[in-house]
């Protein structure tokens, strides 16, 4: 099993086209490997065992980062 998808579609220039779901998996894998110290094999296992939980956590993290960016913009406007 590949971590995200077996073979992403490519456009006419040969660039890979990833879906939003693929991008979510990439973010999860990055977080597991870089921030939490997993190996790629460990990230694969964690993703396989806890896919739904990890997707929900990533969605929440993305929403919080979006809120943070909006609050930063509001703060700059108020200053």
Alpha-carbon torsion angle 60, 66, 70, 76, nearest 10: 120
Tokens of 61: 């993290």
Mean pLDDT of the 21-32 span: 90
Domain boundaries, the chain: 9-78
Q: What is the distance in angstroms between the CA of the first residue and the CA of the last residue of the chain? A: 51
Q: Which residue has the tokens 């490997």?
A: 33
Backbone angles phi, psi at 9, to 5 degrees: -65, 155
Q: Determine the pLDDT at residue 69.
A: 97
Q: What is the pLDDT of residue 22?
A: 85
Mean pLDDT of 55-70: 95
Count CB atoms within 10 A of the CB of residue 13. Answer: 5
């Amino acid at each position: 099993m590949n971590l995200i998808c077996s073979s992403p579609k490519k456009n006419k220039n040969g660039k890979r086209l990833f879906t939003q779901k693929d991008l979510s998996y990439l973010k999860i894998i990055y977080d597991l490997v870089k921030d939490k110290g997993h190996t790629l094999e460990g990230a694969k296992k964690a993703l396989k065992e806890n896919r739904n939980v990890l997707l929900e956590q990533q969605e929440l993290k993305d929403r919080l980062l979006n809120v943070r960016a909006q609050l930063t913009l509001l703060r700059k406007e108020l200053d």
